[in-house]
Chains A and B, each alone.
Chain A
Amino acid sequence: MTQTLSAPAGTAAPPPARPRKTRRGPGGAVLGVVAWIVGIAFFFPVAWMVFTSLHSEQAAATNPPDVTAPLTVDGYREFFATNPWPYLINSATASIVSTALVVVLAMFAGYALAIRPVRKWSDVLFFFLTTKMLPAVAGLLPVYLIAQHIGLLDNIWLMVILYTAMNLPIAVWMMHSFLAEVPVAILEAAALDGARLPTVMRRVILPIASPGIAATALICFIFAWNEMLFARVLTGVVAGTAPVFLTSFVTTQGLFLAKVCAAATAISIPVLVAGFAAQNKLVQGLSLGAVK
């Protein structure tokens, strides 16, 4: 594929790569407007969630919607009055600790796979990917029984272990493609200087691959923070995570739209902030560096 693509480039006298601006024709303005409309349409439900969360219950439940109603933070006040903190802390613990573990494990695995490839390394990558294709529900029951047996049920460290396993395959894939970018010459130089693996990791690989590491960490954090099936089955009173709290919040509170929206917004905010702040890295990470 790449061959056929690069052929004409070789023959055409390489023009001083003109900026893409030239493509902005008369139709360009229209398409720009279309893009804006699509962007607003996709963003609108999120904005509506936030907007509704800032209303009183009466104003939130009007039909047609009353957009002029005064804003209030009562929804949030009531949400935090139900003490969601233990659940938020559980979610933070499970997401942050598992992400840290995943990144460290995946960095070393990625190093072995990309920089000093073991033989049959692509088989190993395959293996990691296939574990991702095993639907999580298929292992839910044994995990439940084992956790019950060893007393890890309703324990947040069980979730740390599971989220680490859940994210590791994707992280190994991503790290492998990011580390494949590290120039071998630098590593050889480091090896000549007698640097050992941990030093090489810290001094050479970490600085070069840090955007990739950040992307990997962000995606693992998002998936861990969002996970619900396992948390619902395996945690309860003590180790419940934010998504589990959110569902129980809705059932115990009944239908209070503004409060539900406040809760949904509050729980989504960490991911929204992290995602917005690192959206370029997200793009890089999501494409898994698969095609260079």
Chain B
Amino acid sequence: MTTVSMPAPAGVRPRRAAGRWARRGPLLPALLFTIVVTQLPFLATLVISFTDWNALYPDRRGFAAFGNYTAVLSDPQLRSSILTTVILTVSVVLVSLVLGLAIALLLDRRFHGRAIVRTMLIAPFLVVPVAAALLWKHALYNPEYGLFNGILTGIFGQGAAQPDWISDAPMFSVVASLVWQWTPFMMLILLAGLQSRSPEVLEAARVDGASAFAVFRHITLPHLRQYLELGALLGCIYIVQNFDAVFTITAGGLGTANLPYTIYQTFYQAHDYGRASAAGVIVVIGSMIVATFALRVVSSLLKQEADR
């Protein structure tokens, strides 16, 4: 797979064709690989979504038309998991983006130990997601010996309230752990953005007597727009697909089952291949709606680059 350049059809065609292949050749392995491994399975999913196929009843296979789709969309559990996915994604991305921006602004200033603080902040992003979810579930949220209730006892004594975080606020518990993991990611992207501002412009604004807020509003924020969009885009891509936190913290219970988890269950436990595929296709359609907006954003990035 490492030998790359497709043998140019030298000699057969005039040189131009050879040149064209020399240009395209290096691109082909990555392109072909991506198409084969990502697009073909999706096509297969599309096909399966129109069939009646439950692995537990292998002889009942047949064409289902839109049967799986109507089943998925009329199943209250699946419908609620669609809503859950949207709520989960939007809240995690928004909160971590805002927090990340605030922290990036703090870290953009010079202060003693800035490098240490940044290193500490990166840590949540680096902890393996399953490990992070386990940490939150058992070491922090646990009602009997979790740290949060331990702190409450430490402060208010033995009679302190001991909430059962995960049962009392399941969605909040999942969101909080994900915000903790993703804020550093947003912070890193936005910090890169802040540090790429032109120092001359900032200096000039200051010489002109612009207030800190005016500088933020009229220089920093417009400059950061692309970075904010990039963070939101990447955050959406990864959090829509989140499986680890939902699987580990609540096991999809208490109204926190998002689409990836539901599909996993439909496929892995109910063995209903047709329905799982239909749900998968619905996730893709949802993602495509988000992506069309996102792509318009990225296309502006590409255009700028093309103009170089």
Q: Smallest CB–CB gap between B66 and chain A, Å?
A: 17
**Are A246 and B38 closer than 8 Å at their CB atoms?**
no
How far, in angstroms, from A265 to B299 measured CA to CA in the complex?
A: 40
Q: Smallest CB–CB gap between A57 and chain B, Å?
A: 10
Assess whether A186 is interfacial by the CB under 8 Å rule: no
**Are B147 and A48 closer than 8 Å at their CB atoms?**
yes
Assess whether B71 is interfacial by the CB under 8 Å rule: no
Instruction: Give the chain B neighbours of A267 by CB distance below 8 A.
Output: 128, 131
**Are A45 and B203 closer than 8 Å at their CB atoms?**
no
**Are A233 and B264 closer than 8 Å at their CB atoms?**
yes
How far, in angstroms, from A276 to B184 measured CA to CA in the complex?
A: 13
Instruction: Give the chain B neighbours of A161 by CB distance below 8 A.
Output: 37
Q: Smallest CB–CB gap between B256 and chain A, Å?
A: 16
Assess whether B84 is interfacial by the CB under 8 Å rule: no
Interface of B is mostly: helix
Instruction: Give the chain A neighbours of B263 by CB distance below 8 A.
Output: 137-138, 140
Could you give, for residues 123-153 of chain B, a 1 whenever the CB lies within 8 Å of some chain A CB and a 0 otherwise? 1111111111011101110101101011101
Instruction: Give the chain A neighbours of B136 by CB distance below 8 A.
Output: 45
Q: Smallest CB–CB gap between B101 and chain A, Å?
A: 13
**Are A108 and B38 closer than 8 Å at their CB atoms?**
no
How far, in angstroms, from A109 to B200 measured CA to CA in the complex?
A: 36
Interface of A is mostly: helix
Total B residues in contact with A, Cβ cutoff 8 Å: 126
Partner of B111, one of A1, A32, A48: A32
Binds B, one of A14-22, A69-77, A79-87: A14-22
How far, in angstroms, from A22 to B219 measured CA to CA in the complex?
A: 19
Instruction: Give the chain B neighbours of A222 by CB distance below 8 A.
Output: 126
**Are A112 and B192 closer than 8 Å at their CB atoms?**
no
Partner of A131, one of B34, B267, B288: B34
**Are B110 and A21 closer than 8 Å at their CB atoms?**
yes
Residues of A172-195 at the interface with B, using a CB-CB cut-off of 8 Å, are: 172, 177, 180
Assess whether A237 is interfacial by the CB under 8 Å rule: no
Instruction: Give the chain B neighbours of A64 by CB distance below 8 A.
Output: 150-151, 153-154
Given A138-B45, A287-B227, A226 and B128 contact (CB-CB distance below 8 Å): yes
**Are A271 and B27 closer than 8 Å at their CB atoms?**
no
Assess whether B26 is interfacial by the CB under 8 Å rule: yes
How far, in angstroms, from A64 to B149 measured CA to CA in the complex?
A: 8
Given A1-B222, A129-B295, A172-B30, A39 and B117 contact (CB-CB distance below 8 Å): yes
Q: Smallest CB–CB gap between A16 and chain B, Å?
A: 10
Q: Smallest CB–CB gap between A80 and chain B, Å?
A: 16
**Are A138 and B33 closer than 8 Å at their CB atoms?**
no
Assess whether A238 is interfacial by the CB under 8 Å rule: no
Nearest chain-B residue to A28 (Cβ)?
B109
Instruction: Give the chain A neighbours of B237 by CB distance below 8 A.
Output: 132-133
Could you give, for residues 281-295 of chain B, a 1 whenever the CB lies within 8 Å of some chain A CB and a 0 otherwise? 101100110110011
Partner of B124, one of A1, A28, A46: A46
How far, in angstroms, from A17 to B253 measured CA to CA in the complex?
A: 57
Q: Smallest CB–CB gap between B53 and chain A, Å?
A: 10
How far, in angstroms, from A40 to B118 measured CA to CA in the complex?
A: 10
Instruction: Give the chain A neighbours of B80 by CB distance below 8 A.
Output: none
**Are A140 and B138 closer than 8 Å at their CB atoms?**
no
Instruction: Give the chain B neighbours of A9 by CB distance below 8 A.
Output: 198, 200-201, 204
Could you give, for residues 14-49 of chain A, a 1 whenever the CB lies within 8 Å of some chain B CB and a 0 otherwise? 110110110110001101101110111011011011
Assess whether A150 is interfacial by the CB under 8 Å rule: no
Assess whether A104 is interfacial by the CB under 8 Å rule: yes
Instruction: Give the chain B neighbours of A40 by CB distance below 8 A.
Output: 120
Size category of the binding interface on chain A: 35 or more
Instruction: Give the chain A neighbours of B180 by CB distance below 8 A.
Output: 42, 45
**Are A275 and B107 closer than 8 Å at their CB atoms?**
no
Assess whether B166 is interfacial by the CB under 8 Å rule: no
**Are B112 and A17 closer than 8 Å at their CB atoms?**
no
Assess whether B97 is interfacial by the CB under 8 Å rule: no
Q: Smallest CB–CB gap between A216 and chain B, Å?
A: 13
**Are B112 and A32 closer than 8 Å at their CB atoms?**
yes
Could you give, for residues 107-147 of chain A, a 1 whenever the CB lies within 8 Å of some chain B CB and a 0 otherwise? 01101110011100010111111111111111111111110
Assess whether B163 is interfacial by the CB under 8 Å rule: no
Partner of B295, one of A17, A126, A283: A126
How far, in angstroms, from A9 to B139 measured CA to CA in the complex?
A: 52
**Are B280 and A141 closer than 8 Å at their CB atoms?**
yes
**Are B129 and A228 closer than 8 Å at their CB atoms?**
yes
B22, B114, B134, most chain A CB atoms within 10 A: B134
How far, in angstroms, from A18 to B200 measured CA to CA in the complex?
A: 9
Nearest chain-B residue to A101 (Cβ)?
B1
Assess whether B259 is interfacial by the CB under 8 Å rule: yes
Given A65-B147, A108-B27, A279 and B122 contact (CB-CB distance below 8 Å): yes
Assess whether A105 is interfacial by the CB under 8 Å rule: yes
**Are A105 and B230 closer than 8 Å at their CB atoms?**
no
How far, in angstroms, from A29 to B114 measured CA to CA in the complex?
A: 12
Partner of B283, one of A35, A129, A137: A137
Nearest chain-A residue to B191 (Cβ)?
A283
CB-defined A-B contacts under 8 Å, sample of 6:
A6-B198, A35-B114, A43-B123, A137-B260, A264-B128, A286-B189
Known: A38-B121, A133-B294. 20 other contacts (CB 8 A): A15-B207, A23-B110, A31-B109, A46-B123, A104-B1, A106-B30, A109-B26, A109-B27, A134-B287, A135-B283, A135-B284, A140-B280, A141-B48, A142-B40, A172-B30, A177-B305, A261-B139, A279-B122, A287-B227, A290-B226
5 closest Cβ pairs, A-B complex = A32-B111, A139-B41, A142-B44, A264-B131, A165-B37
